[in-house]
Amino acid sequence: MKTQAQVVVIGGGVVGCSVLYHLTKYGWSDVMLIERSTLTSGSTWHAAGGFHTLNGDTNMAALQGYTIGLYKELEKITGMSCGLHHVGGITLADTLERFDMLKAERAKHRYMGLHTEILGPAEIAKFTDGLVNTDGIIGALYDPLDGHLDPSGTTHAYARAAKMGGAEIVEHNRVLETNHRADGTWDVVTEKGTVHAEHIVNAGGLWAREVGAMAGVYLPLLPMAHQYLVTDDIPEIVAIRDSGREFPHVMDPGGESYLRQEGRGLCIGFYEKPCEGWSLDGTPWTFGHELLPDNLDKIEDSVNFAYRRFPVLECSGVKSVIHGPFTFAPDGNPLIGPVPGLRNYWSACAVMAGFSQGGGMGKSLAEWMIHGETDCDPRGFDVARFGKWTTPGYTVPKVIENYQMRFSVSYPNEERPAARPFRTTPMYDIFDQMGAVWGQQYGLEVVNYFALPGEPRYETPSFKRSNAWEATKAEVMAVRESVGINEVQNFGKFRVTGPSARGWLDRIMAGLIPNPGRLSLTPMLSPKGKIIGDFTVTCLSDAEFRITGSYGAQDQHLRWFEANLEDGVTVENVSDRVTGFQIAGPNARELLSRATRADVSAEAFRFMDAKRMTIGMADCLVQRVSYTGDLGYEIFTDFMSQRSLWHTLWEADKDLGLRPFGMRAMMSLRLDKLFGSWAREFSPDYFPGETGIDRFIRWNKPTDWIGKGVALMEKAEGPKRRLCPFVVEAEDADVVAYEPIWIGDDVVGFCSSGGFSHWTGKSIAMGFVPNGAIKPGLEVEIEILGSRRKARMIDGPLWDADGARMRG
């Protein structure tokens, strides 16, 4: 075993071997993998081996498509068989809501180039040779790429391909310690000696928590005990096999099961409600190629349901029961990428669908390590989407909830209840007593809307307009006609100080860095010119600045700041130390003037000004800006002063019509002005010129800001597509995201977001369209839940088009 390597991958499951292969594929050959036992030990060896592209996250779906396409490449490179069976897959829908979800997924697939189909009951019966009982089935989604493979053969194919690229693999060698050196490199202490490595990749699978703990890292994941059955020979399956065909995958979410052919019989697995977490406090190092004791009691209801859906099972014997653990993160997606706060430490964990996702995750992590960023937006699988606030007490109930709801319908407005409330602001009890209906962002309870008197205190999950409609409308009208108040806790906030702060911000940000007492809007770009941040920068002095951005992306942004830090600059994440409110609407200035002795007149306090002032008893930073697009102010104060600030503002109202509003109203209000939103219009998938955020770039500033060369090239060549706003002839459902945009019989683009503008009474969509197709009044169709709705491009905001109210 060598004692030095550029990269040490810890863990020899399918994910670790995929990372190792992709590192060699992209040019790093001085890499090694260390496995405590043998390759495939842990979860990989007992996996059912199924693969599919269906995923609500379009980037994850694309990476799953990449994974599936990679297997034939591996076979060609290595001469080894992955045991591929491309049999196609059918996902059944037994409710209208589930059928709506499948139609929404089919719509996403159109612009992704995935050739899925919606089937009716008769077509389902034909595809499955009548072996599926279609009673109560409304329809299904068919994906020809679905299939299964040999888990062991595939993992060893990854490993051989990596070795052919120069990698070393050391088995039967447990890692004992990972020690960080002052220069950012690592000493990996193993049973067979110590390896000095520039980078560590934690692909520990069932032991990822233990490996992470060696470096002082808590990774929010939990192994779950999962069970599937393999039947004896089934005559109907034998007949299909003898005819040269193979039975397709069938997922029956209503029955919490998936089913496929296994030899001359069937394999069926379950995501049962009475599930069980495994090794809650840590995985024993002695565990390996064992299975867990059978526990058929917990799947009894699921099995009985399966007998009704697949009657051939009732007459077949069970050949074997496979009951083993595999890992989940709280939201079911992988934990991939650079771990915040640690230099050169990378996570490749919680890839529960290893044979659907392992190739794509290995590709993305290798890109990240070698090139500094991934080809696609990694937010859905970035390990930094969970912050230091996560604990085992949070992880366990969220993972169990995710497992139980693995096959449940996922609604765009759904708020799942496990491990909540956890993180709250000082306003939680006050807003709760006022009828708040809560959402969650980055573990924080955030008001979605305030229920009207007599209405239920929850929002019904739906693909269509929900019971939040009237309450949201009332909040929108209050902002536009009088004044609304909303918390600003759910902004990410950073304090940047030091003699080099301005110069550093000029290099990190593409836009203007303002003078003292002013603020600016600016994108932050990656070296490849992609949008990785959308910020307000406030200058308090030449040596002190405030950066405000996405609350949910705070760890991702802090990681980038720290990776690009320079002498003379200090960056602090103050997201949870600084809080407050925004007030917006025509009466906002009058409300503020009643609460402070400071001069807040239009002449003294201009649009995009920032001033320190005392409001009541609270020392505050007040910024004249508002995401509602109305006359408004963001008021920031110390966390401990927030309740005092609230009482001061609330008591100053008297006759101005002050009303609290939530995020549902905020998203409607921003559509009035066609404001883009982080993670919707602005994300690492897009270049600034495509989205229109390039208008905030300061092109002529002399600093060589990050991404400048690529951005200038895009500006010179012109983007190939642009973000366009549309008014949609919708009925009871509005655009959410990723709905295809049709011109004639061709899908030419997709939507980034949308919703209903309550002030204008119109359904709005924002989406990307090729440059060559854009013209004034362009008419298109946007597919919403399988129905193509007419839409017309508009040329500007539907409200306050000249900004007179916002700037006045």
- Structural domains in the chain, CATH included, are 4-328 (3.30.9.10), 491-575+687-716 (3.30.70.1400), 720-808 (2.40.30.110)
Helix (H, G, I), strand (E, B) or coil at 108: helix
Side-chain-side CA neighbours of residue 71 (13 Å): 31
CA distance 379 to 113: 22
Instruction: Give residue 693's pLDDT.
Output: 97
Mean per-residue pLDDT pooled into runs of 10, the chain (808 residues): 97 98 98 96 87 86 92 96 94 95 90 89 96 96 93 96 98 98 97 98 98 98 96 96 95 94 94 94 90 93 94 92 96 97 97 94 98 95 96 98 93 96 97 98 97 96 96 98 96 98 98 98 97 98 97 97 97 97 98 98 98 98 96 98 98 96 98 96 96 96 96 95 98 96 96 97 98 96 96 95 93
Q: Assign residue 103 a region: left if phi > 0, alpha if psi is -120 to 50, beta otherwise?
A: alpha
Burial (0-12, 13-18, 19+ Cβ within 10 Å), 121: middle
Give the other-Cβ count within 10 Å of 289's Cβ: 12
Instruction: Give residue 58's pLDDT.
Output: 87
Percentage helix, strand, coil, to 5, in the chain? 30, 30, 40
Instruction: Give residue 56's pLDDT.
Output: 78
Phi, psi of 86 (to 5 degrees): -85, 85
Instruction: Give residue 109's pLDDT.
Output: 87
Tell which residue, 287, 252, 244, has the closest CA to residue 271.
252
Instruction: Give residue 45's pLDDT.
Output: 84
**Do 764 and 756 form a contact (C-beta atoms < 8 A)?**
yes
Summary count for the chain: helices (H), strands (E): 20, 37
The DSSP code sequence of 301-352 is HHHHHHHHHSGGGGG--EEEEEEEEEEE-TTSS-EEEEPTTSTTEEEEE--S
Phi, psi of 536 (to 5 degrees): -100, 130
Instruction: Give residue 289's pLDDT.
Output: 82
Q: What is the rounded end-to-end Cα distance, in angstroms, of the chain? A: 71
